[in-house]
Amino acid sequence: MIFSKRDQLSILQVTGSEDSVDFDTIGKLLFDKPSNMLYCEKDGRLYGIISMGDVHRAKEEDRTAVKINKSFTFLHGYEYMKARKIFLENDKINALPIVDEEHRLLGDYTRWVDAFSGYEFDFLRGNKYADMIWKKYKKVAIVRPSLQSEKKEHLIEIWSHFFEEIGIDVELISKEEIMDNFEVQDMIFFSDEDEIRGLGTFYKDVLDKDFKWAQAKTLEAVGEAVGEAVGEAVLRDIIDDGVYLLTIQVKGSRDPYWKKVDKELNEKFEAIGKKRENILYKEFWKDFFEEIYSDDYAKEIASHLYTCIRDGLDLRLKDTESRYYNVKNGERLTIGQPKDYFNTIYFFGRCVAVGQRAEDAHTIESFLQEKLNVKGYKVKVVNYGNWGNRLQLLHHICSVDYKRGNIVVVYDDGREYQGIPNVNLGKVLEKNNVPSKYFIDSVNHGNHKVYKLWAEEIYKVLPKYLLAKKVDEKAKSVRVPESDIIQADINEKAF
């Protein structure tokens, strides 16, 4: 998460009662001061915002101007922890303006990673996974940042030396030269997300030029690409050692159900004058909790702050005790775990696995444990869900001492891998015509009834021979060397 002062932001001054800004005005600011978010001020106060998504949608709709968004999330003062919580719970919000008591703009927080320390290159040198990525490139260009800083200048210098060391031709270019270089470079690198999003939108949507997004990357994106290679290798190593692995996702289809739910979710937020985001507003409580609703109960569940602690590369849920939410040694409480058991099922991943906005008894893991107990299986279900970036997730998976025959269920933000069993939990939502009131802002963020349906679906696909089998042979320890993982404190995305 990055904090920027007011003078570092891209700001438009609005006079009168304008509701939109023309493309020429936006283009001039974007080229001079690229950013993913433009702030509109009127009479010295924050009036509205324009994101690069807003600019793109206006272009797609063939409009001559971009509408100013006057309904947006902001912070009163430097509420760092609140910003973390909002970014954690709503991946659609990338920037949070900070205002004072008179609504004057002071600065903002963005979810971007401050990756200008240079330590990433210790990882990128001599790494077998990274080597596979770099073999694709012969020539690359680095765009000089629009706003100069010592950190950025230092990073550009390190990048240049790095590319030269591994035999890649590198050229430093200005933002005016970007479009000419797509034809002659294998990849064009930008110093940060604001640069690439702002300039990409300027060329693509303002000037109507063919900005090649697939050929433009940031350093963080390089880490994600390497993470893909690391992730598949790790999961296949676990399978090869006798652990049964299942991935889960929540994916829609072309069925009218999905358009209906999306429309109704938009409408319920519009009805209370709020932007659609992962916040369980009081107006939604009765419909969301239904038969278990009480004001005190809903308030405690809806206001709970999920926090993690980090030790080096290890990221776990913070231990806590309360009526409805309990964590010990990084494991969220699963109700009904047997004292004596033959096998173990481990869950990993973010919101779906953690059981966001549900008490301990209403997570997927607790519902699945209940089902297994009723069926007479001596199997223990473990909830190792947490919030973190993908590489932290992989490190967490690798930190467990498995036995051959154990079952691992991974919610990897919708990723699926060829040859690895995958369950699309979206199908059960469609099949049962689950109402939109059971979701907060997306189908990934459901209530207790949704978690129960998902637990039933996962139970159906679990190999019953493993549930009935006593496993005691220790699996070979699967570990990703620290040199093969990008530093979590540098490349984390979910805080």
- Report the run of H or E that residue 249 belongs to, with start and end: strand 244-249
pLDDT at 256 over 60: yes
Domain end, chosen from 194, 227, 260, is at 227
- Is the model more confident about 415 or about 32? 32
Which one, of 431, 450, 445, lies nearest residue 257 by Cα?
A: 431
The whole-number average pLDDT for the span 12-39 is: 90
Highest mean pLDDT: which of 73-82, 105-114, 180-189, 234-243? 180-189
Are 309 and 383 in the same domain? yes
Are 86 and 147 in the same domain? no
Residues 310-323: pLDDT tens digits?
A: 775 678 999 999 99
Give residue 489's pLDDT band: very low, low, confident or very high (50, 70, 90).
Answer: very low
Are 391 and 457 in the same domain? yes
61, two tokens: 């709709």
- Is there a domain that residue 489 lies in? no
Alpha-carbon separation of residue 9 from 32, 34, 302 (angstroms): 11, 9, 33
- At residue 272, the pLDDT reads 95
- Is there a domain that residue 486 lies in? no
The count of domains in the chain is 3
- At residue 77, the pLDDT reads 86
- Is there a domain that residue 472 lies in? yes
Contact in structure between 368 and 455 (CB atoms under 8 Å): yes
- Is there a domain that residue 36 lies in? yes
User: 3-state DSSP call for residue 221?
Assistant: helix
Q: 426: which residues sit within 8 A by CB, 6+ positions away?
A: 249, 250, 251, 252, 253, 443
Residues 367-386: pLDDT tens digits?
A: 999 999 999 999 999 999 99
pLDDT at 199 over 80: yes
- Is the model more confident about 217 or about 481? 217
pLDDT at 83 over 90: no
Are 269 and 202 in the same domain? no
Q: What is the mean pLDDT of the chain?
A: 86
Which one, of 232, 238, 251, 237, lies nearest residue 408 by Cα?
A: 238
The residue to which tokens 């079952």 are assigned: 407
The whole-number average pLDDT for the span 87-107 is: 88
pLDDT at 227 over 90: no
pLDDT at 45 over 50: yes
Are 409 and 266 in the same domain? yes
Are 168 and 134 in the same domain? yes
- At residue 118, the pLDDT reads 43
- At residue 113, the pLDDT reads 65
- At residue 104, the pLDDT reads 93
Give residue 456's pLDDT band: very low, low, confident or very high (50, 70, 90).
Answer: very high
Are 209 and 273 in the same domain? no
Give residue 418's pLDDT band: very low, low, confident or very high (50, 70, 90).
Answer: confident
Highest mean pLDDT: which of 96-110, 295-309, 350-364? 350-364
Helix residue ranges per DSSP H, 241-329: 256-271, 285-289, 295-303
Are 248 and 397 in the same domain? yes
The residue to which tokens 């829609």 are assigned: 252
pLDDT at 248 over 70: yes
Identity of the residue numbered 21:
V
163, two tokens: 């590319």
pLDDT at 279 over 60: yes
Question: How many Å apart are CA 378 and CA 369, to the nearest integer?
Answer: 10
Domain end, chosen from 165, 199, 227, is at 227
- Is there a domain that residue 454 lies in? yes
Count, in order, helices (H) and strands (E) of the chain: 19, 22
- At residue 18, the pLDDT reads 80
The whole-number average pLDDT for the span 25-31 is: 93
Range of the domain at 137: 120-227
- Is there a domain that residue 236 lies in? no
- Is the model more confident about 246 or about 221? 246
The whole-number average pLDDT for the span 208-223 is: 82
Question: How many Å apart are CA 485 and CA 42, to the nearest integer?
Answer: 46
Are 164 and 68 in the same domain? no
- At residue 188, the pLDDT reads 92
The whole-number average pLDDT for the span 431-450 is: 97
Give residue 230's pLDDT band: very low, low, confident or very high (50, 70, 90).
Answer: low
Are 70 and 128 in the same domain? no
- At residue 145, the pLDDT reads 85
- At residue 286, the pLDDT reads 97
- At residue 482, the pLDDT reads 41
- At residue 223, the pLDDT reads 57
Give the DSSP letter string of 353-421. Answer: HHTTTS-GGGSHHHHHHHHHHHHT--EEEEE------HHHHHHHHHTS--BTT-EEEEE-TT---TTS-
- At residue 320, the pLDDT reads 94
Residues 99-155: pLDDT tens digits?
A: 999 999 999 999 876 554 444 454 455 555 556 667 778 899 999 888 777 777 877
- At residue 315, the pLDDT reads 82
CATH number at residue 130: 3.40.50.2300
Question: How many Å apart are CA 173 and CA 189, to the nearest integer?
Answer: 10
Are 169 and 246 in the same domain? no
